[in-house]
Amino acid sequence: MAADPKGIQSGAYFIDGDHACAEGAIAAGCRFVAGYPITPSTEVVERIAERFPLIGGMFIQMEDEIASSIAIQGAVWGGKKAMTVTSGPGFSLMMEHIGLAAMTETPCVFVDVQRGGPSTGLPTLPGQADMMQARWGSHGDYGIIALCPNSPQESFDLAIKAFNLAETYRVPVLLMLDECVGHMTERVVIPPAEEIEVVERKYFAGPREELLLFQPDSRGVPPMVKAGDGYNIHVTGLTHDERGYPVMTPAAQEKLVRRLVDKIRLNADAIVETREDGVEGADIVVVSFGITSRVAIPAIERARAEGMKVGHLRLITAWPFPAKRIRELSSRVGCFVVPEINYGQMVREVERCVAGRTKVERVSHGGGSVHDPKDIYAKLAGCLKG
Amino acid sequence: MTAMTEESTIQDLETLVNPVEDFLRMERMPHIWCPGCGIGTTVNCFAHALEASGLDLQKVAIVSGIGCTGRVSGYMKLDSFHTTHGRAIPFATGLKLANPELKVVVYSGDGDLTAIGGNHFIHAARRNVNLTVILINNFIYGMTGGQVAPTTPIGATASTTPYGNYEQTFNLPYLAESCGAVYVARWTSYHVRHTAKAMKDALLKDGFSFVEILSPCPTLFSRRNKLGDGLDQMKYYKESSEIKNDANTKDVGLTLQGKIICGTFVNTNKPTYLQTYNEFMTKKLGDRFTPYKG
């Protein structure tokens, strides 16, 4: 359905990725945000703090990121669409609650504006080294969705998509910006409300005795209920049955956790989104995401100008990873080149899918700046030799 | 006793109904608590408090953290949330602010709420979030096997203080009051009527209300400290408690088997977080402000 026009400031703006992210969340219907200040993500909550009193939303600056990441889950069970926003160190603190959201199937959005790490690292400078943490950071097995915008416009668009996916799959969705995307200022077009597609929460409407809060539909996704609606729901982080009651058995674990993993894995075709440019017929395919996907373009263009057949596959969804597409391409591409601002994270996924069928080259960068396109070009120029 | 009366007694027992059954998820019984544990007694008090409060039970939600008391939420026939260790209060904050119509109760243990969750306790009280926090203080971590807690009295033995606890003990009513709680009371699981009454008063209070209830852990606290069984602890509560309403919370700290000051220590009124927010923003923003109703 179309977005609620109340919060939407349709028009063309010159704003940064953090502000665009805030506007995307508002457009998606988010009306509860809990956060704790951390560079380079703070502008998201600053804009929310300014906008929410005008449109009936609730922003609360909590005492830390642990509190923020669970306050949003309380808010979701109270009936709100909710989000928290952070960067590296705060993201680390939130890990337990990504697991809680996955386990209790609480639809919510975590924004991580990545900076250089580990630890305090480079607070004001870019990194892309939280990608594996986004996927595996909480203990135990579960599935999540992670999206990677590469511009302020996409920060707006993918914030909406993040909320829509969270509601569609009852899952936490991670919006993985990086400092460059968060702080770069560009034209952002906010469409009229009626042109913005928003997925509303699917509430159970049947009688109390028929409710099974954790009974999946054909896609593996159960219906939602909110507190106060008379269903006497129970929600626990313990392994539970369809009613939500704790069951401490291997059989219950197998049934629940397998479903939590399969819910994303088996719906990957519907969730995965990539952008391709010149991939068909290419000898070399650059796989990139976030700001690095833009830094790679001059390198790709130079290589093409010199006659090389170079394609570009950009990850919009880092998780689930477009495994099928990479596998398919691996039988006919001479080399994958994976530039990213870390020492090798998403490249491991490429290597896993390629499984030795062709070459995979990394272009690693420790963070603090983007790549020099020359380094990516050098890899393109050299990767098919020898 | 004749065979006939014996039979009728058995029949009576079979038809007897637990008076608080309507408040419990009976399909989840028996509960996990040990014989002599006081948590079940407090749950009974809570059910009576809910009844006496006249609150619409469909609009009451209970939130717990992790631990023996953390299991309370799962046994109450209410909207119930069993969250992560120490984080019941921030979850409850989000729930309450999202739907202010709800009466949100946090029901958890001393370790959960004041060690790992201590920071959240402080800040929810400071903000005067409209929550009722019921804290069952059994002086140790029960679920994990009797480790020392911030509430363990000096000198008491715990599994991680085998030579006795030497750390200063939290005085929780003092902590709650100094952080801004509008209602602060302490009772023990011996004082069932007082406890139920305090819980009711806390439920009907606007703002951050706090009830501490001392409760025996015969398995892991009393046994290790050679204090007898659950009944012996009840005798201690009975004999060593002194009711002192309006006592200065500075003076109500606990010691090992020492005097227990019980009563209602704080009962005051302050605008809640949400009232403050709406009033402040209305003043600042005038017509531009959209009052927050949840």
Domain finish residue from A145, A174, A195: A195
Pairing of strands B183-188, B209-214: parallel
User: Which residue in B has a C-alpha nearest to residue A49's C-alpha?
Assistant: B281
Dihedral through CA A23, CA A29, CA A32, CA A36, nearest 10? Answer: -30
Interatomic CA distance for residues A380 and A372, integer angstroms: 13
Chain A interface, Cβ < 8 Å to B: 32, 34, 53-58, 60, 62-64, 66-68, 70-80, 82, 96-97, 100, 226-238, 245-246
Q: Are residues A178 and A72 in the same domain?
A: yes
Residue B141: its pLDDT value, please?
A: 97
Q: Are residues A170 and A284 in the same domain?
A: no
Q: What is the number of domains present in chain A?
A: 2
Beta strands in B58-123 (DSSP E): 60-64, 79-82, 103-109
Long-range contact pairs involving B234-242 (C-beta distance under 8 Å, separation at least 24)? B234/B189, B234/B190, B237/B188, B237/B189, B237/B190, B237/B191, B238/B190, B241/B188, B241/B190, B241/B191
- On the CB side of A11, CA atoms within 13 Å amount to 6
Bridge partners (DSSP) listed for residue B64: B82
- Provide mean pLDDT across the span A47-62: 98
The parent domain of residue A21 ranges over 5-195
Based on the number of CB atoms within 10 Å of its own CB, is B62 exposed (0-12), middle (13-18) or buried (19 or more)?
A: buried
Chain B interface, Cβ < 8 Å to A: 25, 27-28, 58-59, 61, 63, 73-74, 77-84, 87, 90-99, 101-102, 119-120, 122-123, 281, 285, 288-294
User: Residue B261: which pLDDT band, with cuts at 50, 70 and 90?
Assistant: very high
pTM above 0.80, yes or no: yes
Q: Do A228 and B102 touch (CB under 8 A)?
A: yes
Asked whether the predicted pLDDT for residue B1 surpasses 50, the reply is no
Residue A229 belongs to some domain of the structure: no
Asked whether the predicted pLDDT for residue B158 surpasses 90, the reply is yes
Residue B278: its pLDDT value, please?
A: 98
Q: Are residues A37 and A138 in the same domain?
A: yes
Tokens of A75: 């808010």
Residue A212 belongs to some domain of the structure: no
Pairing of strands A58-61, A11-16: unpaired
Residue A233 belongs to some domain of the structure: no
Buried b (16+ CB within 10 A) or exposed e, A12-21: ebebbbbbbb
- Provide mean pLDDT across the span A330-339: 97
Dump pLDDT digits (tens) for B47-56: 999 999 999 9
Distance from CA of B294 to the nearest CA of A (A): 8
Per cent of chain B over pLDDT 70 is 96
Asked whether the predicted pLDDT for residue A6 surpasses 90, the reply is no
Which residues in chain A have their CB less than 8 angstroms from residue B28's CB?
A: 245
- Provide mean pLDDT across the span B112-123: 98
CA angle A109, A112, A114 (to 5 degrees): 165
Domain finish residue from A165, A195, A225: A195
User: Residue B5: which pLDDT band, with cuts at 50, 70 and 90?
Assistant: low
CA angle B164, B168, B174 (to 5 degrees): 140
Distance from CA of A229 to the nearest CA of B (A): 7
Q: Are residues A170 and A302 in the same domain?
A: no
Residue A270 belongs to some domain of the structure: no
Residue A315 belongs to some domain of the structure: yes
Bridge partners (DSSP) listed for residue A113: A177
- Provide mean pLDDT across the span A114-135: 98
Asked whether the predicted pLDDT for residue A192 surpasses 80, the reply is yes
Dump pLDDT digits (tens) for A242-284: 999 999 999 999 999 999 999 999 999 999 999 999 999 999 9
CATH number of the structural domain spanning residue A50: 3.40.50.970
Of B58, B74, B289, the CB nearest to A228: B58
Residue A236 belongs to some domain of the structure: no
CATH number of the structural domain spanning residue A370: 3.40.50.920
- Provide mean pLDDT across the span B176-186: 98
Q: Are residues A304 and A169 in the same domain?
A: no
Distance from CA of A371 to the nearest CA of B (A): 40
Q: Do B99 and A58 touch (CB under 8 A)?
A: no
Interface test with B, best of A48, A61, A232, A233 (most B CBs within 10 A): A232
Which residues in chain B have their CB less than 8 angstroms from residue A246's CB?
A: 74, 82
Residue A320 belongs to some domain of the structure: yes
Residue A241 belongs to some domain of the structure: no
CATH level 3 topology of B32-288: Rossmann fold (3.40.50)
Q: Do A227 and B92 touch (CB under 8 A)?
A: no
What is the count of residue pairs from A and B with beta carbons less than 8 Å apart? 144
Please choose, from the candidates A126, A190, A181, A191, the residue with its C-alpha nearest in 3D space to the C-alpha of residue A155.
A181
For chain A, the average pLDDT equals 97
Asked whether the predicted pLDDT for residue B145 surpasses 70, the reply is yes
- Provide mean pLDDT across the span A101-108: 98
Domain finish residue from A168, A195, A222: A195
Bridge partners (DSSP) listed for residue B266: B184
Residue B28: its pLDDT value, please?
A: 96
Asked whether the predicted pLDDT for residue B85 surpasses 50, the reply is yes
Residue B2: its pLDDT value, please?
A: 46
Query: Mapping DSSP to helix (H, G, I), strand (E, B) and coil, where does residue A2 land?
Result: strand
